[in-house]
Structure 1
């Protein structure tokens, strides 16, 4: 027997301040003669007994005016609006997304949807990706806590199943294939057989899809607690290969991906990316960047993964100087070096990488440019060269104090 009213569960799973925000939103909707619902992942997590940190609301009515007035009442700020009739209300520690109840139309496979307003929450829910994300809870006063579940999402939750809603879903938005795998691994659920079958039949649409849209979902996957499991399933179902041929994983790649579980530092998503692309050739890496329209640090991590592979043999030598390690690695992204530490079979290589990561990269001369000028150096490129030489001596342990550095600098000055 499934629950039709979730008032008690809402109280138990929402932070007190968040719960009060829901009450205010419901009161505002009543004043505006509109209907408002908590939707999506928040409803799913409430039913799973998990705490909820993100609030997504759907308004049947004037959502733009609703968002403006709700922001005013709660002391938030509208920080984003989109062409899909959505607005984000931001606070210091969380946000509320407000959307209009809508129906999506896709003019061709993988296109951005055209949006039409609808008059019921049911019409909005049936357009969504999977059944467990297609539930809503009313927060209007007279219907507070009522569950709306037209696609039997609660039953699928109890059966621990991820199920796509309609046959054209992957054709309309091929990134849903990735999201199906993401949710199944995040929740520990199984993808139902009909959805698996639809994935295999619709992989061709991923190949045609705009890379930047795939990249957005790809970033979400790498930020998950267990990205290696999602990537493995995406490989097993053919999704990764459909995105780009270079992402076809070998057995050795799969074993390397598992090593991310040993990393507990910051930016694990970039470390995971470096491990994922480590076996790619330089040409394959460039093609992948172009295919997914990657930007920023994501590009740097991939490029630096290629760069570090060229110096691994040198770094694996026991007799290498500290200053040599520093100059080989100082220009490379830290996440790439963490990845190499995880996957390397060489104790010496791991030791040298850790020496740089934990120590050498933080070492600098005590003298600064102004100190050198006071000693008699003229401003210009010579300052940087002297500081670099001093840094090498400090890193190699050949000078210990500021006075040692000053003596070295004076000797250099004599030779100029």
Structure 2
């Protein structure tokens, strides 16, 4: 069986009877066991009313200190309820609220809390329903004491969901949990967001200052050129791009979709070796020439490797180096 030396600590394991072992489970529906004894093989053992709660589609803890022992169970209860379509029993809800008041739920040392929360954010089928339950429990303090889940926040998440569905269809890989967390903390100021990053042991460059994204939006609004759109968005992570999309207007959204599903797919076919074969000597000009060719590729003017090679050959034969100067 598992036992806890102190609240919110990792469980210790010791030998125990079957009943003692099952009594340490998180919820009654997880206390069901099947006998492997040859004389009783397949016998269903239900010592805590798990079958009844399973039939009634109910999430219920076994004892009053369940969430005190392991506050992570609060998030697990929410995840089970939303994923399985169950309801959390009233007394269990009260115990969850009482645990919130103890401060144990906000313990930043609890890495399992972070992982359980991210598990919820990764599952597109339960994210919003789960966040609504967490809001009803005043549970967003587990992220930051000033964080609020508002209608605006939910609207941003729904906007992000639209783009993420399209990205999934195009098999564009991204970290969904990071995107949702971006949006959840978007209403915090830069200092408060850094606090979240530090508490949850994330990389310092997890998210930039809000002014950085505002500048990107303004840059996008000021251009219609394909290559300019590409250059603005290319340095960003996919997660940041979805963040921009969720916060942007229709014009911003259209340009982001153009980048993700069109411009980003236009790849350069030639490289340094190809330039060597054309008789060029290795020099810093290589990268500049390839950058120019990439621009024409992004703009849709060069579509194949042959097109790209012919473009470079023509420029070299005519000695039109000024074209290189002009298009950088």
- TM-score norm. by structure 2 comes to 0.83
Q: Secondary structure at the match of 2:14?
A: strand
Please name the residue that 1:143 is paired with.
40
Q: C-alpha separation between the residues in 2 aligned to 1:387 and 1:348?
A: 30
- State the partner residue of 2:21: 124
C-alpha change, 1:405 and 1:151, in structure 2 (3 Å) is farther
Aligned residues: 308
Establish whether residue 162 from structure 1 lines up as the match of residue 59 from structure 2: yes
Q: Separation in 2 of the partners of 1:232 and 1:349? A: 28
**C-alpha deviation, 1:238, in angstroms:** 1.4
Q: Is the 8 A contact 1:360 1:395 kept in 2?
A: yes
1:245 aligns with one of 145, 161, 166: 145
1:62-73 paired onto structure 2 within 5 Å? none
SS of alignment partner, residue 61 of structure 2: coil
Helix, strand or coil: the match of 2:10? coil
Relative to structure 1, is the Cα distance of residues 339 and 139 closer, same or farther in structure 2, using a 3 angstrom cutoff? farther
| 1:279 alignment partner, SS class | coil
Q: Distance in 1 between matches of 2:266 and 2:29?
A: 52
The SS at the match of 2:128 is helix
Distance 2:154 2:109 in 1: 26
SS in 2 for 1:110: coil
Per-residue CA distance 1:160-189 (angstroms, 9 max, x = gap): 211122222111111111111111111122
Normalised TM-score (structure 1): 0.66
Larger strand proportion of the pair: 1
Q: Provide the rounded CA distance (Å) in 2 between the counterparts of 1:411 and 1:304.
A: 43
SS in 2 for 1:327: helix
For the 8 Å contact 1:211–1:293, the answer to whether it is kept is: no
Structure 2 counterparts to residues 74-113 of structure 1, below 5 A: 102-104=1-3, 106-113=4-11
Deviations 1:39-59 (A, max 9, x none): xxxxxxxxxxxxxxxxxxxxx
Aligned pair partner of 2:50 in 121, 145, 153: 153
1:129 is paired with a residue whose SS is coil
1:289 aligns with 2:197: yes
Q: Is residue 250 of structure 2 the alignment partner of residue 332 of structure 1? A: no
Whether 1:255 and 2:155 are equivalent positions in the alignment is yes
Residues 152 and 338 of structure 1: is their aligned pair in 2 closer, same or farther, counting only changes over 3 Å? same
Name stretches of at least 5 consecutive residues in structure 1 with no aligned partner.
Answer: 1-101
- In structure 2, C-alpha distance between the alignment counterparts of 1:303 and 1:187, rounded to whole Å: 36
Distance 1:209 1:128, change over 3 A: farther
Aligned with 1:111: secondary structure?
coil
The answer as to whether partners of 1:177 and 1:239 remain within 8 angstroms in 2 is no
Q: For 1:207 and 1:131, how far apart are their aligned partners in 2? A: 25
Does 2:219 match 1:314? yes
Change (3 A) 1:223 1:365: closer
- Tell me which residue corresponds to 1:6: none
Q: Indicate the RMSD between aligned Cα atoms, in angstroms.
A: 2.8
The 2-side partners of 1:390 and 1:414 are apart by 11
- Assess if the C-alpha contact under 8 Å between 2:108 and 2:199 holds in 1: no
Report what 1:75 is aligned to: none
2:320 alignment partner, SS class: helix
Of 100, 116, 122, which aligns to 1:217? 116
